[in-house]
Structure 1
């Protein structure tokens, strides 16, 4: 199996286990052994697929009895989710993390597919100044303004694709 497929398989496995439980504790070496891959592959999956922007909190304890705990974030309502995301974004956000925020909003029925596409186009294709630091700050400001606007206009159901 190639690495890209392995990453997707490991992510799907962990999400399946998380679907059954509120949180999971794993040992990196045990999961690596289960999937016959290197432990760094597990780190990659956790660091890229189980971020706060994707709705997860990850805790880890190093050492012999170490573990990685993954928990799905429980947000009370859409307003709380938007406020949390605005806070998480801060002053700067990468293109990858901004895509994760938009995908999370779509998957949780806060925005429609069309709104997600518009948000992604605005953040991806129009923010290239030649300076990554400036791009990430502009992207953060744009995304936070979009999220703040959603807070004031919350229809009951947004899945009108």
Structure 2
């Protein structure tokens, strides 16, 4: 069974897809009412599921007429996207952020789900059994090498 965060994430992504727009504006309280949850649940979903690593920019305006704008990051080319992701992963990256990057690469069809799972298995804290921050630096180097290969190798 899926949890409420998964349902809210899917709902917001469907709005983006259905409207064929690159951004949506929502009122946190309205979405919370729709899903019969507290507004902080909406904050949690947006903060964890709509990150730069996953290819989104989130802006908010507080107050009575406030809103949350979720925008997909647009790139002119796959090369531009890889450059941006490379900047994100350097000089170190957490396991969670690295998995988010892999999800973004799958969503943009730069890697298959199987390839992403293979990479994820290699960059986990169980395999990279180094102390922090060395572990995040090694993971960054591995991700950078993978991104370089995606960008320049055929």
Same fold (TM over 0.5): yes
State the number of aligned residues.
151
Superposition pairs for residues 1-161 of structure 1, below 5 Å? 5-19=3-17, 20=19, 21-124=21-124, 125-129=126-130, 131-154=131-154
Which sections of structure 1, spanning at least 5 residues, go unmatched? 155-161
Give the alignment's Cα RMSD to 1 decimal: 1.7
Which sections of structure 2, spanning at least 5 residues, go unmatched? none
Q: Deviations over 1:56-91 (max 9, x none)?
A: 111112222221100111122221111110012232
TM-score scaled by length of structure 1:
0.86
Shift in Å at residue 35 of structure 1? 0.8
Match of 1:158 in 2: none
- What SS does the aligned partner of 2:133 have? helix
